[in-house]
Amino acid sequence: MAADVKVSTAETARGPITMVQAINEAMAVALERDPRVLLFGQDVGVMGGVFRASDSLQERFGEERVFDTPLAEAGIVGLGIGLALGGMRPIAEVQFAGFLYPALDQILSHLGRYRHRTRGRFSLPMVVRAPYGGGVHTPEQHADSPEAVLAHAPGIKVVIPSSPERAKGLLLAAIEDPDPVFFLEAIKLYRSERQAVPEGHYAFEIGKARVVRPGNAVSLFCYGGMVEVCMKAAEVAAREGVELEVVDLETLAPLDEATILDSVKRTGRAVIVYEAPRSGGFGAEVAARIAEEAIYHLEAPIVRVTGWDAPYPPFTSVEHYYRPDARRVLAAVRRVLE
Amino acid sequence: MDTLQYIPPSGAEFGELPLTTEELLRGYRATARARFFDERAVTLQRQGRLGVYAPYRGQEAAQVGTTLALEEGDWLVPSYRETAAAITHGLPLSQAILYWRSHPAGWRFPDDVRMLPFYIPIATQMPHAVGLAMAGRHQLAGRHQQEQPWVVLAFIGDGGTSEGDFHEALNFAAVFKAPVVFVVQNNGWAISTPTERQMANVRIVDRANGYGMHGARVDGNDLVATWVAAKEAVARARAGEGPTLLEAMTYRIAPHTTSDDPGRYRDEEESKRRAAEEPLVRLRTALRSLGVLTDEVEAQVQADLEQELKEALEVADAAPDIDPAEIVEHVYAEMGPDQRMAWEALGGR
């Protein structure tokens, strides 16, 4: 799905917007363009969602197309699957990624499996949106990063945007995708940055990683909320004359292995950054692929910078010890440059 | 709420039946066909010509009667035990055979058979039934394409009602007034767990009140009762009056699957006694006493079934060998790089 308008960096008439506004715009555009698109979840209607991602959409598109559901995540995802089977293009919002666990049976048993077990008769063109990740002092269990669980399920695409412009174009692509897409939105990024975002419809290709800052010393592989962290680390390193390459994976499944390998073959060094617990995290998959396909290009061990192997801490004053920051990324960079 | 019954287990001493002669004959044919397929399927499994199979002996009326209440355009949502419902709803026997042979061709149901695939994870089909029913409403609004709305008939067992998905689906359906009929086949057993170990109140229909939906309990071994009750429920759903919880009281005469041995956990003398209440004998006795069913008709039905199964087996036996590369097909609409690699490794061409 190629972009069908030129993405301009110039400010549009309405000025720069936040990522949560960009997500709202994407859904508005989709609801406007395709009558099959429906949006539902907990508190997405009158209230406009706990993060206001669906602000005013029920007012604009009516209660039949933008509606609140009972408080039940398995029911929400299951309802969406049924709506998709009946020809709709559902967007389900799960209020926090840490709350999607009741829906795991629906996700693992059906969402990614339906096309396969019906040998192509049914597809599930459905998007599940969920805010994820930490860094904003949320209450317990509001800051989980379960992307590895989702990316491990065949048949599901997992997309994690890192900016307002990318969020809008990727969400529109996700809604138009014939397969189910999990769209994880870093809570930390919802309002941290404003960016000029094209108005109207545009879509980015799902399944492509992007070099967001070119460099030659070390490849930093990251996604979602960690892109900002890696960019900051790269700026600091640049002051010392060390050029880090930042690769935003953006789509975890299907993974763009070619872009990862191309980068690491040029730099010879890889640091992988994610905020989920370290063991079995998605970065382990990235590390394995580099080891399988590019080990002779490596000048140093592959290093991960991650959350620790403990639940995301509800102890807000020490939260920053858990979530990777630029300082920890730079320590890993020094290690691979030794 | 009493249990609706028209024909008692004896097949005798019953009142007027609210079905036409034509309907009674259609119902008999469908029930006899369901029994015939189940018996032959178990035999085929013993011969190694079918994989593990979930028999439904004794539950034919609960499945066939409710499914016959559907009209063209309506959807069937089965669990794994609903082969009787599936073949009644139009799934060709050859397709059912290939499914139970674990052949991929058996998983690709024909487009004109409006049913979802068989569901293994218990109760997970229930929320799908609700969404599918609601999608019909959107289709009706003419927003997408010109289609009539549809009613959804969703099956589950007594054990399945313990799952969270059952609760969530019924609650959603009631809140959204979705046109769904939930059929609980209360067959007394969830593998080895009896209903009274599954729930404290064994009257599953009582839950309808809790959800704010219509409920009905029927003798699930009485084809007339299941059909009539389902007709009413389907009509209510079609009229926009919301979902119904229909509890069909039946009994799982057979093992859970062909791999199961019920002698380990239940008194098979009791099972034999309950087997006497099965649906086909009573229907046959009743229809013979009414003169609707004759030796001639029965012989014709039997001959037709033999012929249909023979042809179905020929079709199923002619299915091509399974290409291992099919394992990684249909994961995504377009094969991703990882599936492509696997596909090539499996010899895909």
A254 cis-preceded (ω within 30 degrees of 0): yes
Letter for the amino acid at A134?
A: G
- Model pLDDT for residues B276-303, shown as the tens digit of each residue: 999 999 999 999 999 999 999 999 999 9
Q: Is A74 helix (H, G, I), strand (E, B) or coil?
A: helix
Q: How far apart are CA B8 and CA A21, in angstroms?
A: 65
User: What letter does residue A136 receive in the DSSP assignment?
Assistant: S
Kindly state the DSSP code that residue B2 receives in the 8-state scheme: P
Strand pairing class (B193-194; B189-190): antiparallel
Of residues B112, B105, B108, the one with CA closest to residue B89:
B112
Please tell me which residue of chain B has the smallest CA distance to A34.
B144
Q: Which domains does chain A have, with CATH numbers?
A: 19-189 (3.40.50.970), 210-337 (3.40.50.920)
Report the chain B residue with the minimal C-alpha distance to residue A254. Answer: B336
Whether the predicted pLDDT of B37 surpasses 50: yes
Beta carbons within 10 angstroms of residue A317's beta carbon: 8
Q: Residues 170 to 229 of B: which have CB under 8 A from any A CB?
A: 171-172, 175
A105 and B CB contact within 8 Å: yes
The CATH number fitting domain B3-318, selected from 3.40.50.970, 2.40.40.20, 3.40.449.10, 3.60.20.10: 3.40.50.970
At residue B147, the pLDDT reads 40
SS3 assignment, position A110 = helix
Bridge partner list, B115: B76
**CB spacing of B108 vs A35 below 8 angstroms:** no
In the Cβ-directed half-sphere of A321, how many Cα atoms lie within 13 Å?
A: 9
| pLDDT over 90 (residue B143) | no
| Cβ distance of B330 and A116 shorter than 8 Å | yes
Residues found in chain B? 349
Q: Does residue B336 belong to the interface with chain A, where contact is any CB pair within 8 Å? A: yes
pLDDT at B258: 94
Parse chain B into domains and list their residue ranges: 3-318, 324-349
CB A54 within 8 A of CB A66: yes
CA distance linking residue B336 with residue A207, whole number of Å = 9
Which DSSP string corresponds to B298-348? HHHHHHHHHHHHHHHHHHHHTSPPPPGGGGGTTSSSS--HHHHHHHHHTT-
Mean pLDDT by 10 residues, chain A (338 residues): 45 84 98 97 96 97 97 98 97 97 97 97 98 94 96 97 98 98 98 96 98 98 98 98 98 98 98 98 98 98 98 94 98 97
Can you tell me the distance from the alpha carbon of A304 to that of A281, in angstroms, rounded to the nearest whole number? 10
- d(CA A260, CA A290) in angstroms, rounded, equals 8
Q: In this predicted structure, what is the pLDDT of residue B13? A: 93
CB contacts, 8 Å: A86 with chain B: 131-136, 138-139
Helix (H, G, I), strand (E, B) or coil at A67: strand
Mean pLDDT of B240-256: 96
For residue B185, the model assigns a pLDDT of 98
> How many C-beta atoms surround the C-beta of residue A191 within 10 A?
15
Q: In what order do the strands lie in the sheet with A303-307?
A: A210-213, A244-248, A218-222, A270-277, A303-307
Catalytic residue check, A142: yes
Locate B230 and state its tokens.
């389902």
Supply the pLDDT for residue B141.
Answer: 58
Mean pLDDT, all residues of chain B: 95
pLDDT of residue A14: 85
Please say whether the beta carbons of A298 and A270 come within 8 A: yes
Measured CA to CA, the distance from residue B117 to residue A208 in angstroms comes to 33
